[in-house]
């Protein structure tokens, strides 16, 4: 079985996330979505306005038909080393240092890396801007 892995916060869950999961699921037989725990969000982004806690975000993601398993993560570049997977799918806007280190680790450990373009016209940033106006 070919396992696909992707990471994210998935707080302002939207159509772009749904398309990410749908497209990611096509690279294997089993899609694992790692959702970041609350403590780490606030540690790296102290001013983040998070709508839902980890449990709620995990439940939302778990209900999406393309997702086979939801797991918790703290830091992508550390936690990726502990997960059994074959393909690492990265969203087009995920470019921070942790993702870069995770991609490097994948390449050194014979894991396929796929970077998907973001869905046009939708993002968590756009949603936040509309809500917080």
Distance CA 96, CA 28 (A): 25
Consecutive H or E run containing 15: helix 15-25
- Report the first-to-last Cα separation within the chain, whole angstroms: 46
C-alpha span between 72 and 9 (Å, rounded)? 10
pLDDT, residue 126, reads 63
β-sheet bridge partners, residue 35: 8, 72
User: Which stretches of the chain score pLDDT less than 70?
Assistant: 119, 121-133
pLDDT value of residue 92: 78
pLDDT at 133: 59
Q: What are phi and psi of 42, to 5 degrees?
A: -70, -25
| pLDDT given at position 122 | 62
88-109: per-residue pLDDT in tens?
A: 999 877 888 899 999 999 999 9
Whole-model pTM: value is 0.89
Phi-psi region of 64 (alpha: psi -120 to 50; beta: other; left: phi over 0): beta
Residues 6+ apart with CB under 8 A from 74: 36, 37, 39, 40
45 neighbors 22 (Cβ within 8 angstroms):
no
- Residues noted as catalytic: 43, 45
């Amino acid at each position: 079985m070919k396992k696909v892995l992707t990471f994210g916060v998935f707080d302002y869950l939207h159509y772009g996330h749904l398309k990410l999961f749908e497209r990611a699921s096509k690279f294997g037989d089993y899609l694992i979505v790692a959702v970041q725990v609350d403590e780490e969000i606030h540690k790296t982004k102290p001013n983040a306005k998070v709508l839902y806690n980890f449990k709620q975000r995990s439940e939302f993601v778990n209900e999406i038909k393309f997702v086979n398993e939801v797991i918790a993560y703290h830091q992508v570049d550390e936690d990726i080393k502990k997960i059994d997977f074959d393909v690492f799918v990265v969203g087009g806007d995920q470019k921070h240092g942790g993702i870069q280190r995770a991609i490097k680790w994948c390449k050194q450990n014979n894991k396929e890396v796929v970077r998907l373009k973001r869905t046009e016209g939708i993002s968590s940033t756009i949603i936040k801007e509309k809500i917080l106006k």
